Chains A and B, each alone.
Chain A
Amino acid sequence: MNIFDVIGPVMIGPSSSHTAGVVKIGNTCSKILGCKPKIATITFYGSFAETYVGHGSDKAIIAGLLGYTPFDTRIKTSIDDANNLGYNFKIETSNRKTRHPNTVKVVANDANGSQMTIIGESLGGGAISICKINDMKVSLNGDYNTIILKYIDKPGTVKDVSAILYDFNINIATMKVIRISKGGEAIMLLEVDSSIDDVLAKTISSLPFVDDAKFINLI
């Protein structure tokens, strides 16, 4: 933590968790999708479902999907902006219990036209966590460029991936490996300090043990 976490962030009110954090979730969703989705269904859970109108969480998530930042003064008019630009965003609420009280789900098509479901949590103070992408449990705070790999658990996978990153001179900020079962499906999450280009993405994707790979340039 530094002093700008205390005096900051600069944001559009009224709530760091119900407004600013929600913009960031929307924004991160668009980056994960690789596009600003033309059509999306947004579901608010818990506290969001109860209070989204007064907190402008609906305007916030739409602003985020449109690529606005949490300090963009256009957040207030995002719903009109979306309508004028021909976007079709539907807001729903659900009373289903979620792990975190401030949870939102976005269902939209990605840049290739396949449907994606992204679940985000607003943790307070504008901080967020993207906790699920389709059926993959992840944990992204939206502050780093991220590589997500789905692969079959076996020795040497971490070595191979990190060797490629070393070759591309890319520094790993954080790394998490989650295994469903021994020798079964596993997920590797890597947050890195530089942007991920197509050549790197292709090189990692072509590793024999990788089933599915996602490369998200968040910053």
Chain B
Amino acid sequence: MMRFSTLLKHPADWMTGEAEGNGVVLTSRVRLARNLRREPFPGWATKERRVSVLERVKPEVEGLPEMKDGFSQELDGLSSLQKQVLVERHLISREQAARGEGSAAIVNRKQALSLMINEEDHLRMQAIRPGLALTEAFQLVSGIDMKLESSLEFAFDHELGYLSACPTNLGTGMRASAMLHLPGLVLSDQIGQVLQAVGKLQLAVRGFFGEGTESLGNLFQISNQSTLGESEETIIRRLERVIEQVASHERSARQKLLEDDPEMVFDRVGRAYGALRHAHIIASKEALNLLSLLRLGAELKFFPPATVSACDSLLMEIQPAHLQLHAGKKLTPEQRDAIRAEIIRTRLQSLDPPVMSEKQEDQDWEDPPDNIVDL
């Protein structure tokens, strides 16, 4: 089994920038909720009962060929910092991080699949893929579901489908979501309109970082709300259609910004480059927003293409728990801001100033020299 340190050394395959050409959608995620029949749900079960569920489910999950050489850990064996790091990597949920004895997280080697035992439900399994690939993510997680259902008796009702602790997950037990980077819609003030339209389709939209409606780094997550009354395929098809539309709005917003107000775009991207390259103290919020602009610049081809994935992995590395793990000690907020700036400066030290042009096709980047962006 993989150790925690090994898990952290290797970035997930969906983080390492295979998503080129689909820069608006960063990742697609599908999770399924499953429970054992006639067994108290984790929130109501006694500790003994939770432990017995864990003992039944964990060996089955670990035995799956997909999870071979993966990471498997009971939550009470992790420090709160380690749990937080897993949350920042989207491998476990915030709820799961709050749990201890009787709960576990199992992640496959590529970190494309992660399973949580005794979260809100007995079993939550998710697949993450780069770009817009909900169908692929669903197939991946569904494959595991089918293997597990032959050895574990999942709670299922002919009318209500898969039975979950919360009625909002009944039916398919499936939540599919995509993370979108929408700086064009934010800069052109169209984001409110677009998100409102999406909300009317019984889909949920929320900022990816930050609380409530606040969105940092112009990152948004769109997911299905309804899980009962439609098949998995129908839900995914509807979601993909909407996401494609939002992505296409985003692309035209960028195009229009470049045509109408190129100076403004150049200025924003240029300032972001300057600040990120030279700041010595940078708060999380500012860093996320500047990295978003740098990423936008890269997608407008002001920077070499590899800059996009550098931004994506920085998004993860500059979060609080990752910083503390990097430093190997607990940090005050001031220290965090300094280390955050240092990590960003180091990562971007050989990134050349932007080459700005209104015509995106003007830039013909050759294969980036090895040293351009230090991955």
A binds B: no
